[in-house]
Amino acid sequence: MHMKLVTLSWKNIWRNPLRSGIVTAAVAFGLMSGVFSVAFMNGMGIQSVSAVISRQTAHIQLHDSAFVTEPLPGRLLQPADSVIAMAKSFTAVKAVASRISVTAMATSAKTAVGVTVKGVIPEDERRISKLPDDIVEGTYFGVTRKNCAVIGRKLADKLGIRLNSKIVLTTQDINGELTGGAFKVVGIFETINSMFDESTVFVKKKDVAGLIGVPAEDVHEVALLCTRKQVVDSVAGVLQSAFPAVSVQTWNEIVPEIGMMESLMNQMSVVFVLVILIALSFGIVNTMLMAVLERRREFGMLMAVGMSSGRIFSMVLIETVMLSLSGGVIGMATGGLVVLMTNKTGVNLGMLGTGLKAIGYDPMVYPFIGTFLFSGISGMVVATAILAALYPALKAVALNPADAVRSDT
């Protein structure tokens, strides 16, 4: 009887093809939108994190403990060679870069701006950062001259300078004395984070080392890029154990707001889907209640001839679940397809571009939804279908067969 009940339930759904079709379409559309929205927000979060890791923080940074709270030039990372050697020995670490980092004033003829100067070794940076890909004018240290700088487009605009212009970087040396130097802008970059573009200047490590009076081998910061995000915490843990006096920070600790935003966006998207499902479930309950009331006489007959209330309950339950899942499956499938397509093409938020860049989000979003999230949403659909089925099914079995069998409907 079980298979027959399923077949009967399926046939019952399509007694009123228009009504069932509308409900199915509504569920499908709602879910397609939900899946796409989740993927969109998820994609934004992933891109944001990826951008921060690939351009700003890498996966892990090591500093002198005191440098983290007060980044003075004299707070050099010790023992830098040992830290670098150990980091390079890990198979889970893809690339290592050492940097000097100082705060400075960048001055042009027009104005002066407070910046962070990162002294880098360009060959190492190319392995750890995608910033060289963001060069829009000039090169990423493609010249051999001394005292060259790579700055962001936003900073260049603020300083009122162009490629090959000179800026003066003024900072403190290791003894606390004011020092400065003129740097030629050989490259201009533009990332999705306009705040970063406005506040960071890259120069060669040996040039800024000379400026602040430390040997070229000295280091304030060692940055690590791991093979995958999942190993970051364990690598950081091992390094911290090996060098307890050193501050070892993961990207999540350096920019916790980014991780929190990603997590928040995921939670919000789940809530969003839940709201869609609750709204859709009202429609489903309404449709099935109408169907139960329209079939009072039929249910009365079924009870009269000896169909148990358990079977009637199951039949209505199966009908409701099937109706919900018809739309659910179509919605999930089309949503998944739309996500696959837009993941390739991207979704250009164009008009919102400037605003998004200001908070570190790429206006070109590539929606993405992983298996876990997709399965989670599918589970929510099934759960909603079952819950939506309960009330109509209970109404059906609550009918009095003697009255129902003689009713007008």
Partner 1 sequence: MSIVTLNEVTKTFDGAGVPVKAVRGISLTIEKGEFTAIVGPSGSGKTTLLNMVGGLDVPTSGTIIINGTDITALKPHARTKFRLSNIGFVFQAYNLIPVLTAYENTGFIMELQGAERDARDKRVRQLLGEVGLGERMQSRPSQLSGGQQQRVAVARALASRPRFILADEPTANLDSHSTETLLDIMEKLNREEEVTFLFSTHDARVVKKARRIVTVEDGKVVSDETVAK
> Which residues contact partner 1 (rule: CB under 8 A)?
1, 4, 8, 11-12, 14-15, 297-298, 300-301, 303-309, 311, 401-402, 405-406
What residues are paired with 203 via a beta bridge? 119, 149
Closest contact distance (angstroms) between CB of 406 and partner 1 is: 8
* CB of 214 or CB of 315, closer to partner 1: 315
* CB of 12 or CB of 56, closer to partner 1: 12
Q: Taking a C-beta distance cutoff of 8 angstroms, is the pair 150, 137 a contact?
A: no
- Phi, psi of 6, rounded to the nearest 5 degrees: -65, -45
Closest contact distance (angstroms) between CB of 389 and partner 1 is: 19
Q: Taking a C-beta distance cutoff of 8 angstroms, is the pair 333, 24 a contact?
A: no
* CB of 233 or CB of 298, closer to partner 1: 298
Give the separation between CA 118 and CA 138, rounded to whole angstroms. Answer: 18
**To 10 degrees, what angle do helices 80-89 and 232-242 make?**
140
Closest contact distance (angstroms) between CB of 402 and partner 1 is: 4
* CB of 12 or CB of 384, closer to partner 1: 12
Task: Classify 101 as helix, strand or coil.
Answer: strand
Strands 178-189 and 148-152: parallel
CB atoms within 10 A of CB 51: 20
Give the separation between CA 222 and CA 67, rounded to whole angstroms. Answer: 12
Closest contact distance (angstroms) between CB of 399 and partner 1 is: 11
* CB of 126 or CB of 297, closer to partner 1: 297
* CB of 264 or CB of 402, closer to partner 1: 402
* CB of 304 or CB of 340, closer to partner 1: 304
Closest contact distance (angstroms) between CB of 366 and partner 1 is: 46
Closest contact distance (angstroms) between CB of 309 and partner 1 is: 7
Chain centroid, CA 274 distance in Å: 20
Closest contact distance (angstroms) between CB of 303 and partner 1 is: 7
**CA distances (Å), 159 to each of 64, 156, 181, 359, 400, in order?**
32, 5, 16, 21, 83
Closest contact distance (angstroms) between CB of 314 and partner 1 is: 13
CA atoms within a 13 Å half-sphere pointing along the CA-CB vector of 172: 10
Task: Classify 152 as helix, strand or coil.
Answer: strand
Give the separation between CA 98 and CA 58, rounded to whole angstroms. Answer: 12
Q: Taking a C-beta distance cutoff of 8 angstroms, is the pair 378, 35 a contact?
A: no
* CB of 9 or CB of 47, closer to partner 1: 9
